[in-house]
Amino acid sequence: MRNLKVDSQRLWASLMEMAEIGALPHGGCGRLALTDLDREGRDPFVRWCEEEGCTVTVDSLGNIFARRPGRDPSRKPVATGSHLDTQPHGGKFDGVLGVLAGLEVLRSLNDAEIETEAPVEVCVWTNEEGCRFTPSMGSSGVFGGLYAPEEVLEVRDVDGKSFGEELSRIGYAGAEACGDHVFETFYELHIEQGPILEAAKKQVGIVTGVQGFRWYDVVLKGQDAHAGPTPMEVRRDAMLAAAHMVELVIQAGRARPPHGRGTVGHMRVLPNSRNTIPGEVHFTIDVRHPDPAVLDAMAAELLQAICRSAEQDSVDIETTEVTHSAPISFDESCVAAVRSAVERLGYAHMDVVSGAGHDAVNISRVAPTSMIFIPCANGLSHNEEERIEPEQAETGANVLLNAILDRAG
Ligand code: HGY
Ligand code: MN
Ligand code: MN
């Protein structure tokens, strides 16, 4: 199969058009899952796929499947895709690149009047980011058999709105039972969101696996009291306790270089008043490592350390594990298909393990799966300054197109 190429200008134009939806003042995008902006991003994607002759279906968790027919309808589809929801101050390319490069694959196959043996599908997974509704990657998790549908549909955001209600409100509660949908293989193109490829001056990352992570919610309860008359030594200050624990979370990541990670990204202080000692603090923990045994040890040691710290600070503590995404290795034949496409196209490449979680981790539970990375500027992501160049988007899409063609025949 000759090395088919995508239309770089058309791909870039679609990325910039999507970037207008939920555009933020410093160049990023904010399209939180299941908000009106999420719908405003989904609707044009569905329209663009229908304009390419695809049939579009939506499942009960809002996952979208755009299907381009193949010569042999009995074959399972070769699929690709990613997510359109973003972090609150997200970039233009996290997730979106994988979705719109999939659309560009459909458009390029149509331009070349290629009829593949197997159908080709482009998917959008609902709520990959998990910042409004926990867990992250919840809908691909249901698709991959990690969660029952109601476990995700019943989750509520900080305003008490449920996933299921919001999914219906934006019109994407589909008829198809989530998971009743088989793929022959699944590929996800994504920006690396880290510094490795750029530092190594590689154009493509052949992703062999994804590191694991565990998310916890922590609630600390001390005692509201007056900031003036209350002596320092008698306070039960939940903010002080939280500050000590943030240090322990960061230390947990630093204690296992180079892959260990520890982050506190969200904190809610109650009653959140300048002159009242905080009696209650809610915060999140995100710990990561590529080795499952090390990840388990990190998490166990950290939970013990923060419970000891709570005691020393005379506050009550409640910890809840909200996500456990185990480290995985991708399917060797899918990794090989990506490798052969990259080598045929002549791109500088290297094998990498993903530091970020992706829907592909959940899909790899039910279909042979692998990922393709391209670098992003300074490895920065989950930041409005997330940036790639048009030719980098083209490179990733060319690898995706040829890996899909290899399998779809
Ligand atoms: O948290 C992650 O790794 C992904 O961005 N949801
Ligand atoms: Mn992503
Ligand atoms: Mn992300």
Say how many Å lie between the CA of residue 25 and the centre of ligand 2. 21
Q: Is the pLDDT of residue 1 over 70?
A: no
Ligand 1 test: best mutation among 136, 323, 354, 386, most atoms within 8 Å of CB? 136
DSSP codes joined into one string, 196-220:
HHHHTT-SEEEEEEE-EEEEEEEEE
Cα-based distances in Å from 103 to 7, 53, 100, 242, 312: 11, 11, 5, 45, 55
Q: Residue 46 in 3-state DSSP?
A: helix
Strands 78-82 and 120-124: parallel
Looking at residue 2, its pLDDT comes to: 65
Mean pLDDT of 58-74: 97
Over residues 365-389, the pLDDT tens digits come to 999 999 999 999 999 999 999 999 9
Q: Is the pLDDT of residue 263 over 90?
A: yes
Q: Which ligand is closest in space to the CA of residue 82?
A: 2
Mean pLDDT of 289-298: 96
Residue 301 exposed, middle or buried by CB count within 10 Å (0-12, 13-18, 19+):
middle
Ligand 1 closest atom vs CA 130: 6
Say how many Å lie between the CA of residue 54 and the centre of ligand 1. 29
Q: Which ligand is closest in space to the CA of residue 97?
A: 2
The candidate with the shortest Cα–Cα distance to 210, out of 259, 249, 264, is 259
Over residues 11-45, the pLDDT tens digits come to 999 999 999 999 999 999 999 999 999 999 999 99
Ligand 1 closest atom vs CA 381: 5
Q: Which ligand is closest in space to the CA of residue 128?
A: 1
pTM above 0.85, yes or no: yes
Over residues 150-199, the pLDDT tens digits come to 999 999 999 999 999 999 999 999 999 999 999 999 999 999 999 999 99
Which DSSP symbol is given to 189? E
Which residues' Cβ are closer than 6 Å to ligand 1? 128-130, 136, 356-357
CA gap 149, 301 in Å, rounded = 32
Find the Cα–Cα–Cα–Cα dihedral 395, 399, 400, 404, rounded to 10°: 160
Q: Which domains does the chain have, with CATH numbers?
A: 8-210+327-408 (3.40.630.10), 212-325 (3.30.70.360)
Find the Cα–Cα–Cα–Cα dihedral 78, 122, 170, 147, rounded to 10°: 30
Over residues 312-334, the pLDDT tens digits come to 999 999 999 999 999 999 999 99
| pLDDT confidence tier of residue 128, bands split at 50, 70 and 90 | very high
| Angle formed by the axes of helices 332-345 and 390-408, nearest 10° | 120
Residue with token string 């959008």: 124
Ligand 1 test: best mutation among 94, 126, 129, most atoms within 8 Å of CB? 129
Say how many Å lie between the CA of residue 199 and the centre of ligand 1. 22
Looking at residue 3, its pLDDT comes to: 80
Asked whether 287 and 299 are in contact (CB, 8 A), the reply is yes
Mean pLDDT of 189-212: 97
Say how many Å lie between the CA of residue 255 and the centre of ligand 2. 26
